[in-house]
Structure 1
């Protein structure tokens, strides 16, 4: 390639060949080495450590650069205050995870959200060991490849259906995502569904008022199930389509995950239901409440 073509392409930033720095080659994990069963039984899987309470978890293991930069800013502001210099606004509250992707799969949504919301800590939770290992390696590779990026995203292997309150405090979360969850078609297995009345109450406890809960499925019956459960819950109200159009996260639900991409390739339909956590309970129509109780039974 000629020097002129080199400069036009921006491949060496206008520097002579001998001054170029060799670019570090980053190896990304390959999915074929991390394949696992499509789903696990969340009522049985519990072979991992779980913190007793949220304060027992050291998040610096997940977000080392992000939290170290925050600590450095805090220290600098403290020194400025001690020296009598004017310091900018500061917060003594340690940054906390605000977004959580339940059953994050291979991390497609997590990776995209990380660049859209670079100042927000977010966590993917996945019950399958090989899949969570893949996401961990994927994020590590992206961090090496693009220093300063993806430092706000991480993954954790756990059973979110059982242990969410062990990781998050009341009102801590602002967004929760449930993309293409296991439909558990048999009626006897509906209690395994990640969206149900009991769990919605738990999610409402962890979501801050005004926080959003996102669901999407390619199974019509499951889409209707999740919609009915959310409609019947007094602490959630449906987000309007106008609001969803203006929300970057809502536009990622259908195509960011591997499952969503497969549905799109096959020309399948998806059923998106997004609800807002209310600050106070709303009145629920008796008919909806009766149908909810009957479905849970």
Structure 2
């Protein structure tokens, strides 16, 4: 515990330090935020999450995309108006299990008018991404960059529909998820028939789920489970390779760079959300 307390103090000292030349916050050091690579999604993590998407306050995460307006007070018997902060846009891109945020920071400037959200279950890793966003926003204040990216600590296997409404997202990224090699651990994989139904719920028709892994068995598992789901079809190779997000996904994540250094193979598969069939 003493080691962890010392690491927390070092993080706090580094967070409060500024670049002497620019006066901007320093980028966080990854070594101060290292944490176990795996977290049990079935554990009772202490998490904050909205009871429904309507209860989620996104204004704290994306202040540059907020505005104020007068609305009737919601208190019982109140008849006046009150000033309320609202979002001008909704989150459209989600990186589930975003790790140290490499994909987030690559996507943000490519899609400056689209809100990008990282979801990560590990506490220290989430804190690293949040601190890096804070520093990058400050360092790029004149250009207004990185205002469209945020990160929250969340267990998406349990609470994804608590954050997003039906058809809200246009892209979901599942980059180098935990392979859970043992058969008895397969229930913890981020792709399953049940979870794919949740992805289908929050993804709009025509939206894409992007998957990448260096584990061939897991790649086959994800392909098998998405192709078996009636709401998805696999994207053809030509369309896949023409998608700019595929190259970003291959090269910008921490795991992707590690696989590159080790001369490993990356398996990519994209799945398009189909239109819902008409009611009979």
Q: Identify whether the pair has TM-score above 0.5, normalized to the shorter chain.
A: yes
Q: What residue number does 1:194 align with? A: 190
Partners in 2 of 1:195 and 1:229 — Cα distance?
7
Q: What residue number does 1:166 align with? A: 162
Which segment is superposed worse, 163-172 or 253-262?
253-262
Q: Deviations over 1:71-122 (max 9, x none)?
A: 37x99xxxxxxxxxxxxxxxx9841000000000000000110000000011
Q: What residue number does 1:48 align with? A: 47
Q: What residue number does 2:136 align with? A: 142
Which segment is superposed worse, 169-178 or 36-45?
36-45
Mapped pair 1:128 → 2:122:
yes
Partners in 2 of 1:176 and 1:155 — Cα distance?
14
CA offset at residue 246 of structure 1? Answer: 2.5
Q: What residue number does 2:175 align with? A: 179
Q: Is the 8 A contact 1:110 1:153 kept in 2?
A: yes
1:204 aligned residue (197, 200, 207): 200
Instruction: Count how many residue pairs are aligned between Structure 1 and Structure 2.
Output: 240
Q: Deviations over 1:187-220 (max 9, x none)?
A: 1110000000000011101100000000010001
Partners in 1 of 2:238 and 2:218 — Cα distance?
24
Partners in 1 of 2:244 and 2:53 — Cα distance?
29
CA offset at residue 161 of structure 1? Answer: 0.6
Q: Is the 8 A contact 2:95 2:117 kept in 1?
A: yes
Q: Is the 8 A contact 1:235 1:277 kept in 2?
A: yes
Partners in 2 of 1:59 and 1:278 — Cα distance?
28
Partners in 1 of 2:88 and 2:54 — Cα distance?
11
Partners in 2 of 1:47 and 1:202 — Cα distance?
22
Partners in 2 of 1:224 and 1:142 — Cα distance?
37
**Aligned-partner SS, 2:119:** strand
Q: What residue number does 1:35 align with? A: 34
**Aligned-partner SS, 2:36:** coil
Q: What residue number does 1:61 align with? A: 60
Which segment is superposed worse, 96-105 or 254-263?
254-263
CA offset at residue 25 of structure 1? Answer: 4.1
2:276 aligned residue (264, 277, 280): 280
Partners in 2 of 1:45 and 1:38 — Cα distance?
18
- Structure with larger Rg: 1
When residues 149 and 241 of structure 1 are mapped into structure 2, their CA distance, relative to the original with a 3 A threshold, is same
The list of structure 1 runs, each at least 4 consecutive aligned residues, that deviate by more than 6 angstroms after superposition, is none
**Aligned-partner SS, 1:202:** helix
**Aligned-partner SS, 1:255:** helix
**Aligned-partner SS, 2:95:** strand
Partners in 2 of 1:140 and 1:248 — Cα distance?
26
CA offset at residue 244 of structure 1? Answer: 2.1
Q: Is the 8 A contact 1:46 1:158 kept in 2?
A: no
Q: What residue number does 2:91 align with? A: 97
Q: Show structure 2 runs of 5+ residues with no match.
A: 1-20, 71-85
Q: Show structure 1 runs of 5+ residues with no match.
A: 1-21, 76-91, 282-297
CA offset at residue 231 of structure 1? Answer: 1.1
Q: Is the 8 A contact 1:100 1:125 kept in 2?
A: yes
The Cα RMSD (Å) is 1.7
2:251 aligned residue (240, 252, 255): 255
Partners in 2 of 1:257 and 1:163 — Cα distance?
24
Q: Is the 8 A contact 2:24 2:135 kept in 1?
A: no
